[in-house]
Copies of this chain bind each other. A is one copy, B any other.
């Protein structure tokens, strides 16, 4: 008879209505058998919480199937193999998987897993700057906004949720390419980080401004408008950005965090007619379609990091039991940079 090991995992207990609360989640104690032939056992050390997960907490299918009630949630995680009867994976190996929200997991296949070299970068960076988060910023700007390799005079980029995991990287890729970069964010502390650490040109606290003043603020800081808007929030910031786009500009629709917890039908941008008169492109994308760019991304991002051109922050909650709180905090804007949960030692 195989031995058993105590593990904990976070289940979705009920579908959140509006802003999720901790009572929507349950911390569940379970047991994991020791690996049989061909299997290996992984101990998660870090997991990611991301706004897109809110979409999987609905009953309706979106681009990914909904999370099932009373089952462990899923999401990116980095763990270490602690026992293996599989030739491909050895004890000590670090693995990036989508089996987050749990302490231990057992597998007999490598599908969807990748190995991580802990000597290259801190292992949790593969959940952020070197992971899907960084790739989102990269794909959005290089593939969909067709950002110039070298910006000319007056080329401008506006990023919302600019101090967030994706936004902070989008801002800095913009600076690397020579763009004038403007970021909106939700606190004084984040404004300071954006200006002093990320080194962007303008940053403002949209909460202080109030939603009716975003258009005029954007016009003030960038009177000639924006070539690219990298949208992470939707809603009134998207509308204000459309007001301030240059002709032939591109709006990259990466996320709409302001809309995810709506319980009533949101109102779309009232000024969408400007998309015609300004010949705008609005382009939605999902990073998972673009894994084929991962190698190119890793190569470039490594170089930028080594050259000291990218700064990043992590906001860390300690302990698996804090994962729901970490997730909910995303919608309160409590993170600068990547929001992570440290599960293991």
Query: Are B272 and A271 interface neighbours, CB within 8 A?
Result: no
9 A-B pairs in the complex with CB atoms less than 8 angstroms apart: A62-B277, A63-B247, A253-B272, A255-B276, A256-B276, A267-B267, A268-B271, A268-B272, A278-B284
> Would you call A289 an interface residue if the criterion is a C-beta within 8 Å of the partner chain's C-beta atoms?
yes
A56 to chain B, nearest CB (A): 11
Extra pairs beyond A234-B273, A254-B276, A268-B268 (4, CB < 8 Å): A55-B277, A62-B277, A255-B276, A276-B286
Query: Are B275 and A282 interface neighbours, CB within 8 A?
Result: yes
With most chain B CB atoms within 10 A of its CB, the pick from A247, A255, A273, A279 is A273
Given A63-B247, A284-B277, A285-B279, A270 contacting B268 (CB threshold 8 A): yes
Q: Select one of B256, B277, B281 contacting A281, CB under 8 A.
A: B281
Chain B residues whose CB sits within 8 angstroms of the CB of A63 once the complex forms? 247, 277-278
Given A279-B286, A282-B282, A284-B276, A265 contacting B270 (CB threshold 8 A): yes
| Number of chain A residues whose Cβ lies closer than 8 Å to a Cβ of chain B | 35
When chains A and B are docked, how far (Å) is the Cα of A289 from the Cα of B277?
11
A88 to chain B, nearest CB (A): 33
Chain copies in the assembled complex: 2
> Would you call A345 an interface residue if the criterion is a C-beta within 8 Å of the partner chain's C-beta atoms?
no
> Would you call A259 an interface residue if the criterion is a C-beta within 8 Å of the partner chain's C-beta atoms?
yes
Closest B residue to A265 by CB, please name it: B270
A231 to chain B, nearest CB (A): 9
> Would you call A224 an interface residue if the criterion is a C-beta within 8 Å of the partner chain's C-beta atoms?
no
Chain B residues whose CB sits within 8 angstroms of the CB of A273 once the complex forms? 234, 256, 259, 266
> Would you call A41 an interface residue if the criterion is a C-beta within 8 Å of the partner chain's C-beta atoms?
no
> Would you call A333 an interface residue if the criterion is a C-beta within 8 Å of the partner chain's C-beta atoms?
no
When chains A and B are docked, how far (Å) is the Cα of A270 from the Cα of B267?
5
Query: Which residues in chain A, 235-255, are within 8 Å of chain B measured between CB atoms?
Result: 238-239, 247, 253-255
> Would you call A283 an interface residue if the criterion is a C-beta within 8 Å of the partner chain's C-beta atoms?
yes
Chain B residues whose CB sits within 8 angstroms of the CB of A75 once the complex forms? none
Query: Are B284 and A279 interface neighbours, CB within 8 A?
Result: yes
> Would you call A269 an interface residue if the criterion is a C-beta within 8 Å of the partner chain's C-beta atoms?
yes
Query: Are A284 and B289 interface neighbours, CB within 8 A?
Result: no
A342 to chain B, nearest CB (A): 29
When chains A and B are docked, how far (Å) is the Cα of A143 from the Cα of B280?
14
Query: Are B285 and A276 interface neighbours, CB within 8 A?
Result: yes
Query: Are B280 and A281 interface neighbours, CB within 8 A?
Result: no
Chain B residues whose CB sits within 8 angstroms of the CB of A55 once the complex forms? 277
A27 to chain B, nearest CB (A): 30
Query: Are A282 and B279 interface neighbours, CB within 8 A?
Result: no
Q: Select one of B265, B269, B276 contacting A253, CB under 8 A.
A: B276
Chain B residues whose CB sits within 8 angstroms of the CB of A284 once the complex forms? 274-281
Q: Select one of B255, B270, B276 contacting A266, CB under 8 A.
A: B270
Query: Which residues in chain A, 178-225, are within 8 Å of chain B measured between CB atoms?
Result: none
Query: Are A281 and B282 interface neighbours, CB within 8 A?
Result: yes
When chains A and B are docked, how far (Å) is the Cα of A279 from the Cα of B253?
9
| The 4 nearest A-B residue pairs measured at CB | A268-B268, A275-B284, A276-B284, A268-B269
Query: Are A272 and B62 interface neighbours, CB within 8 A?
Result: no
When chains A and B are docked, how far (Å) is the Cα of A284 from the Cα of B247?
10
